[in-house]
Structure 1
């Protein structure tokens, strides 16, 4: 099994707040954008296309994510959904709404996003979450998140394994619902095993 060196997020990334555009700013075409509310209903571990656009004027005033950045929703109605995120893997810079954190880094974007979907991360974010009716995690607080970080090569290997499981879980045509549910549980098990803290190999 892989040996991981634990690092704080701010050792490998910068965390910035998202912008302030709203759904009323959406246009039929223009620049691609991600609104934090879409994180709960549309986006998964990664995305290559957005489902909304904004005008040149709104885009120019917005905070932006470049390919490889992680976009994370830091406001939600519950602890389970807060910090839902996606790795932006499209080919262009996009506008990002408020109530988000934009995580810029030089690691494997899918690896980080898979980690942010793991039970290890869930335990850490629960300690950072605050609020009652609205649950929030302050973007700057994410800097203290500890991540098990192997080499880029091993990150790539982990992502290849998890991508295969993720594909089985999300592709309805690949099996009957009971089989998909079994694969989903298997995927979650291996995801958490691969992304859990371990002593780094000598």
Structure 2
């Protein structure tokens, strides 16, 4: 039996409960915030499109900002909140999430929903990558060219809710594997560059006359 299984058996002897997201979190739908609102500094902001292209499972910094005046009109994201995308061009990507672990309140805009909860934020963000979530979101997805899973439907999705101590242990293990994966990818990229260098060097010759 693994350490996590032992922990579950000790802290949750009757098994892990499943609850709807709407039971464990307040879901706040974002609005507005086109990229033209971005400024060089100000209040941190995460655009839904950046969750697809830039952010991983969690972040402590934003790459975009809006003015304090603009921020007042947008959905607020407090430390520990999770931002979920509501819209995508395909069903595989819709519902991608990022946990905000920075120290200050930031904002988000349309096509995104903020989960405000008292669970481990990384646990929720990791679970939103799992097959269990992928299967459920497909049942609630609507649209053809543009796929949408509304905040109302997200609230119906059932998530396992083990004790927070168990959540943190799961996160610790997944973080370790994520760090290892990043290290291996960096090593692989270095080897690719090395290969390209020697390939070009060894296969380049000066033409000489016979």
Q: Give the TM-score normalised by structure 1.
A: 0.84
Matched residue, 1:193? none
Matched residue, 2:28? 16
Q: Which runs of 5+ in 1 are unaligned?
A: 178-202
- Cα RMSD between the aligned structures? 1.3
Selected match of 2:93 from 60, 77, 81: 81
CA displacement 1:20-42 (0-9 Å, x = unmatched) = 11100100111100001101001
Structure 1 residue 174: Cα displacement: 6.0
* Conserved? CA contact 1:168–1:174, under 8 Å: no
Structure 1 residue 44: Cα displacement: 1.1
Matched residue, 1:145? 157
Matched residue, 1:125? 137
CA displacement 1:108-131 (0-9 Å, x = unmatched) = 000010000111100000111110
Structure 1 residue 176: Cα displacement: 3.1
Selected match of 2:52 from 15, 36, 40: 40
Is the partner of 2:56 in helix, strand or coil? coil
Is the partner of 2:72 in helix, strand or coil? helix
Task: Map 1:47-196 onto structure 2 (within 5 A).
Answer: 47-172=59-184, 175-176=187-188
Is the partner of 1:165 in helix, strand or coil? helix
Q: Structure 1 residues 172 and 28, CA, compared in 2 at 3 Å: closer, same or farther?
A: farther
Larger radius of gyration: 2
Q: Which runs of 5+ in 2 are unaligned?
A: 9-14, 190-210
Is the partner of 1:171 in helix, strand or coil? helix
CA displacement 1:138-191 (0-9 Å, x = unmatched) = 1111111111111011001100000001111223566436xxxxxxxxxxxxxx
